[in-house]
Amino acid sequence: MGHTGAENTFQVSDRNMQPQMSSSPVIPLVEQNKLEPENLEFNDAPRVIWIRVKDAINLIWQQNPKLHSQSDLRSSIAKFGFQELPKFDNQLVNVRGTRGAIKAGNGRVEALYEMEREGNFSLPRGLARDKATDDWVLPILFGTDAPNEALAQAYGLDSNNITLGDNFDIWQMAQLWDREGYSNLLRSFQAENVYPVSMNENDIKDYLRIFDNGIAGKSFDETVAGGVQVEAVFKIRLPVDDVEAIEAPLKEFLEQFPQARMEKIV
């Protein structure tokens, strides 16, 4: 997954800008507990760099398969301000084919670009305006880069999948992504033997096995399996004292289905 390319060149707009303190009040609990940087020992601390939106659009992650609702993102930024800083990583490849791209927050950068280009939005809270060019400028978080491209990509996937919580399976998580691009990304993890937190090796094998057999996106009917073993799992939760009472009738019922099996977990 290695890549070589020319170095990035983009305009950092701190030349004409002095970031001002937010007018939002700091609550006493924060004020009492904040620590000064000179008293801290940092471990690859992140830093904020201000970049023109029209330059940041060139830092979009080239292989990012994440789906976005641009209309919702624009509406959210217009209503709430720019609340989440995009995260940059030197290991990823951007849309210009050079090293260095945004690994989290690509959709928000795209939304800002369209908002400024359309000219129908005022400068969102949380952004700045370059005094020399009148361009919109956004803060991007730099630092804490991944050791390699595969891990940077794995973080990009996890930063979306993990937010769904434990009640979403690998098929539901996949709805966040373009199917073809997502599958290609998962194959690259297999090739590099690097796996995200939200999907282990077996999860990826199961997903790709189904995808490769053309089942993804089809309605479930008698033609869906196509040589792939598809299982339905039923769970019955009940008090331990009732287990013996229900176990025998269940076994008798399942005798009608030779391929079915019952697993008991107490």
Asked if residue 1 is part of any domain, the answer here is no
**Residue pLDDT, tens place only, 142-176:** 999 999 999 999 999 999 999 888 878 888 888 89
Asked if residue 127 is part of any domain, the answer here is yes
Nearest alpha carbon to residue 66 among 101, 118, 31: 101
> Do 48 and 82 form a contact (C-beta atoms < 8 A)?
no
Asked if residue 204 is part of any domain, the answer here is no
The mean pLDDT of 46-62, rounded to a whole number, is 97
The answer, yes or no, to whether residue 255 has pLDDT greater than 80, is no
The mean pLDDT of 45-53, rounded to a whole number, is 95
For position 21, what pLDDT does the model report? 56
CATH number at residue 106: 3.90.1530
**Count of domains forming the chain:** 1
* Residue 176 falls in which region: left (phi positive, over 0), alpha (psi -120 to 50) or beta: alpha
Asked if residue 185 is part of any domain, the answer here is no
C-alpha dihedral, 46 to 48 to 51 to 56, nearest 10°:
40
Asked if residue 78 is part of any domain, the answer here is yes
Asked if residue 199 is part of any domain, the answer here is no
Which residue range is the domain that position 83 belongs to? 28-142
In one-letter notation, the amino acid at residue 179 is: R
For position 4, what pLDDT does the model report? 41
Asked if residue 47 is part of any domain, the answer here is yes
Asked if residue 263 is part of any domain, the answer here is no
- The DSSP bridge pattern shows strands 47-52 and 87-93 to be unpaired
Q: What is the pTM of this model?
A: 0.72
User: Which 3-state string (H, E, C) describes 43-56?
Assistant: CCCCEEEEEEHHHH
Determine how many CB atoms are found less than 10 A away from the CB of residue 73: 18
